[in-house]
């Protein structure tokens, strides 16, 4: 089989993996090696595909042969699709070829399970070892640890890769049992715990010995599928929070379920992927990681799902109007972050600037603070920008309107000269 | 204070000399011109670039702040409208108030300059990803069309990334090129430049990348507006994945070698001249194949 066909099959099989990031590690160039990961700590996007997702890594499977039969997956063994496998050397050469042309920031390597998890991991390790040691590749590598593989192999993989991830796949054990009969919760969580442990030990070792080998310096992430099973947003968010707390994950990715197969246990094939839901979950995920929110604050048992019309932060603010309006000239950083429309960048700029001058609405605009939502919740030098009283009924219409195109919501259309 | 219009050579050092003159001669510059000024009601004066004066002004910034000098240097690379006047106003503000002036982000001049610098840095960060190299006999070459002069910002990144390679990046907008070979880099002005046609291996990699790019997108999630907002169309012209079909064919492999070469084509697009010690990237174009715009 030609390389082009292999690449097509194996990229197509890998495309449902949401994680395509090159963040979390800054490693400069090294003599005799190719590559660095220091363009920025936030990673570097090399292109954006037609679905608007960032392409930063060469995202492929080692092989899409798989012995497992996960119901939702394109690569399950009962699905009739063309199969292919890279040889370790082919993959290494392709990566270097792409990297030299600046198409990619590195390699994202996952795999279907051939034979056993151990066998699969050994294949992946062989490919990565050729890439790192023979081709002297110093760029980013994200590798998937296969649940069920032995701990020694996970360690070896971590020494070669920058980031490891183990996919949690389903947000609850019950749906995991029904949809992925070959996987168990403990098999998924065991490597996660191991990676966290080794990352921590490695940090200590690096503090003592500068040249200690690094183990997954960019940490670990995971991914779960949203919309294939019946869990509520609240359940998913609380699960991600506990993953952040217990396993020190860098990211939890959500992947809106794209129906690829007809099955009694799954949504029908003509359901659209729940993109808005995925978006709201990501917004909430950011609130957990950067804004000091807890999952319990955002959703409770009475309202277990996010409002499709309003973002999670706005919803929270509307339910806690007693804390508003906030005076931008005196409020502390934590409170500024809780104002809808003010993010980390804006809040930091406000902190810097208000030491020099007092801030009014014009000054805020010049700082680059977006007032579309924030104006309802703040005061500048004691004054508000709007006369709307701080009650949910009055604010709600303006806030939902701020999110949408005015032409769409009024029900009018742009007329065309030629439409008659 | 006398109002005056300065003429200078357009360099950063030249601009610093204008600052020097304005303070020593107690003049208030109302305009800056590179070369001859257009007709103006004010007196005009040509300021020669004196390295010692420029250095003295530049060093004065560091008496109170470590960041102002580098900030000005970056601002100089931007496309800020009326750049010299804005920067001059900023320097005045800085001399008067000290480094605290730079923190007043809501001040008109400070915010304008900061915004321009941010634009420059964002563009450089995007281009770190969007630059596409092609290989010509071991040398990597790329073309870009940025708004700001980003080459100095790309220099460190790419020189580190391709440490053991030789490469060049040509900036079509500002007609200058970054050359790197044997662990040394240089940015030189370059009026005319044209990319070679790809060899067989290069064409194969382009096809592989294009195929990967098309495959990795999920059809059910298509979102053209999302893509455009994150990767504006102005970058697409130099990116492999958006080129037309003939970009992916090697003319040498297709058997049309020598068929389209005319002597005049070679004269119109001479090979890029490399500075001493750095080999020229490649021989003149063989097949007269132009990189699609």
* Structure confidence by residue, pLDDT tens digits, B133-161: 999 988 999 999 999 999 999 999 999 99
Sign of the dihedral through C-alpha A212, A213, A217, A223: negative
For chain B, say whether A229 makes contact (Cβ under 8 Å). no
B184 and B287 belong to one structural domain:
yes
Q: Do B163 and A33 touch (CB under 8 A)?
A: yes
Question: Among B104, B122, B140, where does a domain finish?
Answer: B122
- SS3 call for A168: coil
Q: Do B161 and A349 touch (CB under 8 A)?
A: no
Q: Do A103 and B240 touch (CB under 8 A)?
A: yes
Q: Do A256 and B239 touch (CB under 8 A)?
A: no
* Residue labelled with tokens 């034979």: A115
Name every chain B residue with its beta carbon within 8 A of the beta carbon of A363: 106
- SS3 call for A395: helix
B112 and B165 belong to one structural domain:
no
Residue B57 has pLDDT above 70, yes or no: yes
Which of B114, B155, B161, B167 to mutate to test binding with chain A, by most A CBs within 10 Å of its CB?
Answer: B161
**All residues at 6 or more sequence positions from A390 whose CB lies less than 8 Å from its CB, including other chains:** A321, A324, A325, A376
- The residue-averaged pLDDT of B29-57 equals 88
B173 and B69 belong to one structural domain:
no
Helix (H), strand (E) at residue B199: none
CA-CA distance, A9 to A235, in Å (whole number)? Answer: 35
Among residues B150, B179, B149, B151, the alpha carbon closest in space to that of B167 is found at B179
B91 and B235 belong to one structural domain:
no
Give the count of domains, chain B. Answer: 2
> What confidence tier does B251 reach under pLDDT thresholds 50, 70, 90?
confident
B110 and B15 belong to one structural domain:
yes
B188 and B293 belong to one structural domain:
yes
Q: Which domains does chain A have, with CATH numbers?
A: 3-219 (3.20.20), 312-403 (no CATH)
**All residues at 6 or more sequence positions from A44 whose CB lies less than 8 Å from its CB, including other chains:** A22, A56, A105, B125, B128, B129
> What confidence tier does B264 reach under pLDDT thresholds 50, 70, 90?
very low
Question: Among B72, B100, B122, where does a domain finish?
Answer: B122
> In A, residues 48-107, which contact B (CB 8 Å cutoff)?
48-56, 58-59, 94, 97-98, 100-103, 105
Distance of CA A1 to the CA centre of its chain: 34
Q: Do A51 and B218 touch (CB under 8 A)?
A: yes
Question: Among B89, B122, B155, where does a domain finish?
Answer: B122
Q: Do B227 and A36 touch (CB under 8 A)?
A: no
Two structure tokens written together for A105: 């920031």
User: Which residues constitute the domain of residue B242?
Assistant: 131-293
B161 and B210 belong to one structural domain:
yes
Q: Which stretches of A321-383 are DSSP H helices?
A: 333-337, 344-353, 361-367, 371-374
B259 and B168 belong to one structural domain:
yes
B104 and B183 belong to one structural domain:
no
Residue B93: the pLDDT is 95
Residue B254: the pLDDT is 57
- Please check whether residue A95 is in contact with residue B205, taking contact to mean a CB–CB distance below 8 angstroms: no
The partner residue sitting opposite A44, judged by closest CB among B129, B214, B222, is B129
Q: Closest approach of chain B CAs to the CA of A150, in angstroms?
A: 31
Residue B266 has pLDDT above 90, yes or no: no
Using DSSP bridges, classify how beta strands A163-165 and B176-181 pair: parallel, antiparallel or unpaired: unpaired
DSSP 8-class letter at A383 = B
Two structure tokens written together for B209: 């990348």
Q: What is the pLDDT along chain A (420 residues), one digit of tens a residue?
A: 789 999 999 999 999 888 888 888 888 889 999 988 877 778 889 999 999 999 999 999 999 999 998 888 889 898 899 999 999 999 999 999 999 999 999 999 999 999 999 999 999 999 999 999 999 999 999 999 999 999 999 999 999 999 999 998 899 988 988 888 888 889 899 999 999 999 999 999 999 998 899 999 999 999 999 988 888 999 999 999 999 999 999 999 999 998 888 888 888 888 888 889 999 999 999 999 999 999 999 998 888 999 888 889 999 999 999 998 999 999 999 999 999 999 999 999 999 999 988 999 999 998 889 998 898 999 999 988 877 778 888 888 888 876 654 444 445 555 666 654
> What order do you get walking across the sheet with B184-189 strand by strand?
B134-136, B139-144, B166-171, B176-181, B184-189
CA-CA distance, B247 to B203, in Å (whole number)? Answer: 8
Long-range contacts of B111-119 (CB under 8 A, 24+ apart): B111/A366, B111/A367, B112/B80, B112/B86, B113/B71, B113/B75, B113/B80, B113/B86, B113/B87, B115/A368, B116/B75, B116/B78, B116/B79, B116/B80, B116/B83, B117/B71, B117/B74, B117/B75, B117/B78, B119/B78, B119/B79, B119/B147, B119/B148
Beta bridge partners, B257, equal none
The partner residue sitting opposite A359, judged by closest CB among B106, B157, B215, is B106
Q: Do B106 and A12 touch (CB under 8 A)?
A: no
The complex's ipTM?
A: 0.90
Which residue does chain A place closest to B154, by CA atoms?
A39
Residue A180: the pLDDT is 87
Which residue does chain A place closest to B201, by CA atoms?
A97
- Please check whether residue A240 is in contact with residue A293, taking contact to mean a CB–CB distance below 8 angstroms: no
- SS3 call for B216: helix
B113 and B182 belong to one structural domain:
no
Two structure tokens written together for A372: 């579309």
Which of B212, B219, B243, B247 to mutate to test binding with chain A, by most A CBs within 10 Å of its CB?
Answer: B212
Residue B271: the pLDDT is 42
* Residue labelled with tokens 């439409």: A419
B189 and B283 belong to one structural domain:
yes
CA-CA distance, A96 to A323, in Å (whole number)? Answer: 54
The partner residue sitting opposite A363, judged by closest CB among B106, B209, B220, is B106
Exposure of A46 in the CB half-sphere (CA atoms within 13 A): 29
- The residue-averaged pLDDT of B191-202 equals 88
Beta bridge partners, B185, equal B180
Angle at A43 between CA A339 and CA A36, to 5 degrees: 155
The partner residue sitting opposite A45, judged by closest CB among B103, B129, B219, is B129
B154 and B271 belong to one structural domain:
yes
């Amino acid at each position: 089989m030609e390389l082009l066909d292999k690449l097509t099959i194996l990229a197509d099989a890998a495309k449902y993996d949401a994680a395509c990031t090159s963040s979390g590690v800054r490693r400069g160039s090294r003599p005799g090696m190719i590559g660095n990961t220091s363009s920025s700590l936030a990673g570097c996007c090399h292109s954006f595909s037609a679905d608007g997702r960032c392409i930063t890594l060469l995202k492929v499977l080692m092989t899409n042969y798989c012995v497992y039969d996960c119901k939702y997956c394109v690569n399950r063994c009962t699905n009739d699709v063309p199969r292919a496998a890279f040889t370790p050397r082919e993959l290494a050469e392709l990566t270097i070829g792409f990297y030299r042309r600046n198409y990619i920031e590195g390699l994202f390597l996952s795999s279907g399970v051939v034979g056993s998890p151990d066998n699969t991991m050994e294949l992946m390790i062989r490919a990565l070892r050729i890439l790192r040691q023979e081709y002297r590749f110093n760029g980013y590598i994200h590798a998937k640890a296969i649940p069920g593989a032995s701990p020694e192999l996970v360690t070896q993989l971590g020494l070669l890769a920058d980031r490891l991830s183990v996919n949690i796949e389903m947000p609850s054990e019950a749906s995991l049992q029904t949809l992925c009969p070959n996987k168990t919760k403990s098999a998924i969580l065991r490597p996660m715990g191991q990676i966290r442990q080794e990352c921590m030990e490695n940090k200590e070792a690096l503090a003592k010995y500068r040249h200690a080998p690094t183990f997954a310096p960019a940490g670990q992430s995971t991914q779960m599928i949203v919309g294939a099973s019946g869990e509520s947003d609240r359940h998913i968010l609380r699960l991600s929070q506990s993953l952040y707390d217990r396993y020190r994950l860098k990211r939890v990715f959500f992947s809106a379920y794209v129906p690829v197969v007809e099955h009694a246990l799954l949504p029908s094939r003509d359901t659209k992927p729940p993109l808005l839901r995925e978006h709201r979950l990501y917004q909430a995920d950011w609130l957990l990681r950067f804004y000091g929110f807890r999952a319990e604050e955002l959703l409770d048992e009475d309202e277990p799902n996010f409002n499709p019309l309003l973002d999670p932060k706005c919803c929270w603010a509307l339910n806690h109007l007693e804390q508003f309006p906030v005076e931008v000239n005196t409020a502390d950083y934590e409170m500024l972050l809780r104002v809808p429309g003010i993010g980390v960048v804006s809040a930091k700029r406000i902190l810097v600037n208000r030491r020099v001058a007092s801030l009014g609405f014009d000054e805020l605009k010049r700082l680059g603070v977006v007032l579309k939502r924030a104006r309802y919740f703040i005061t500048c030098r004691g004054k508000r920008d709007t006369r709307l009283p701080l009650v949910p009924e009055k604010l709600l219409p303006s806030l939902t309107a701020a999110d949408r195109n005015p032409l769409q919501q009024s029900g009018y259309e742009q007329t065309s000269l030629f439409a008659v | 204070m006398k109002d005056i219009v300065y003429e200078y050579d357009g360099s950063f050092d030249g601009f610093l000399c204008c600052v020097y003159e304005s303070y020593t001669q107690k003049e208030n510059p109302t305009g800056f011109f590179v070369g001859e000024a257009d007709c103006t009601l004010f007196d005009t004066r040509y300021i020669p670039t004196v390295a010692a004066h420029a250095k003295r002004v530049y060093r004065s910034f560091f008496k109170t702040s470590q960041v102002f000098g580098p900030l000005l240097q970056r601002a100089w690379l931007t496309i800020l409208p009326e750049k010299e006047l804005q920067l001059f106003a900023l320097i005045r503000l800085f001399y008067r108030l000290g480094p605290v002036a730079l923190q007043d982000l809501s001040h008109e001049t400070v915010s304008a300059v900061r915004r321009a610098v941010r634009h420059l840095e964002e563009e450089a960060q995007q281009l770190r990803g969007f630059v596409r190299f092609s290989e010509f006999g071991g040398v990597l070459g790329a073309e870009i069309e940025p708004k700001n002069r980003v080459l100095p910002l790309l220099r460190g990144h790419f020189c580190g990334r391709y440490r053991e390679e030789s490469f060049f990046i040509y900036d079509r907008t500002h007609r200058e090129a970054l050359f790197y070979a044997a662990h040394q880099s240089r940015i030189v002005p370059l009026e005319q430049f044209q990319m070679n046609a790809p060899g067989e291996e290069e064409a194969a990699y382009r096809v592989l990348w294009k195929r990967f790019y098309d495959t990795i997108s999920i059809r059910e999630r298509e979102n053209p507006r999302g893509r455009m907002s994150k990767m504006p169309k102005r970058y697409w012209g130099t990116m492999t994945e958006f080129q037309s079909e003939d970009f992916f064919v090697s003319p040498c492999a297709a058997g049309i070698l020598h068929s389209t070469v005319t002597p005049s084509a070679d004269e119109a697009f001479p090979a890029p001249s490399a500075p001493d010690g750095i080999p020229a990237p490649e021989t003149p174009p063989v097949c007269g194949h132009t990189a699609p715009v």
